[in-house]
Amino acid sequence: MSGTVKVAALQMRSSTSLTRNIADFEALVREAAGKGATYVQSPEMTGALVRDRDSLRAMITSDDKDALVARAGELAAELGIVVHVGSTAIARPDGKVANRAFVFGPDGARLATYDKIHMFDVDLDKGESWRESATYEPGRVSTVVDLPFGRVGLAVCYDLRFPQLFRAQALAGASVLTVPAAFTRQTGEAHWHVLIRARAIENGAFVIAAAQGGRHEDGRETYGHSLIVDPWGKVLAEADGAEPGVVLAEIDLAASAAARGKVPNLKNARDFTIADGAGLANAS
């Protein structure tokens, strides 16, 4: 599918208050729609950024009762747009927590969900350490959804570092890849731009990445710099630093087919095995 569409990435600074975050989310969605966006994506953990595990568990609920999820569907229907909640924490029936994305169509219907697969379990410089798997249950299914303008692959934040996920989505027909995120300032300064651009170039796809930015109430600091990148790796739009706001760009999905035609690496990939030693298996 091809066609031009205006898309938006919302940059937020989510607090520990779900009520405040929903109000901020709604204001940015309305701003984006008012500027002509028909697809709007919010960052990872739109609902709340709460580092303390017990506090988070005490404030979340199932997705059928979650106030942010309900409001996102209402806004999609009212404004006649696609609303993509990058993710929010959801209580699972088994007592565990999901880091879950939601996509609502222009009629307000829920089109897709996605639970973040890769857990951010890392030890960074300056004593910064994260163990996402201590709170969240990883997803096991990659999601690609058909939207009015084309086929879109869903991912969340740390998934960005696993190119096989995006390759599989591209091979499944996705010409738009999404990476809503709450990248730390430390990792964002080092890797955010190059990884987003690499995923676009590798797959001949647009990448839309709404981000959290700034210092949050729970003490963490996120990088911001929400991005929209074209299939040739060109940055079409970028948030100026870490301040909340709306990033907009016109994308033409024909550019994805054109990029894949020029560099058909999706078609040219070959199966191979790994051999120990000096490659003697290839010797004549």
252-to-68, 255, 283 alpha-carbon distances in Å: 30, 6, 46
Token pair 């990448």: residue? 207
The one-letter amino acid at 59: M
Name, in order, each residue with C-beta under 8 angstroms of 79's C-beta and a sequence gap of 6 or more.
Answer: 29, 30, 33
Q: In a 3-state reduction of DSSP, which class is residue 166?
A: helix
* 116 noted as active-site residue: yes
Please tell me which residue in 6, 157, 202, 238 is annotated as part of the active site. Answer: 157
* 234 noted as active-site residue: no
Please tell me which residue in 6, 74, 116, 217 is annotated as part of the active site. Answer: 116
* 78 noted as active-site residue: no
User: Do the bridges between strand 176-178 and strand 150-154 make them parallel or antiparallel, or are there none, so unpaired?
Assistant: parallel
143-to-94, 109, 111, 219 alpha-carbon distances in Å: 22, 17, 11, 32
Q: How many whole angstroms separate alpha carbon 112 and alpha carbon 135?
A: 23
Please tell me which residue in 6, 26, 35, 44 is annotated as part of the active site. Answer: 44
Q: How many whole angstroms separate alpha carbon 271 and alpha carbon 257?
A: 23
Token pair 């163990």: residue? 131
Closest-CA residue to 142 (of 165, 176, 172, 167): 165
Residues taking part in catalysis: 44, 116, 157
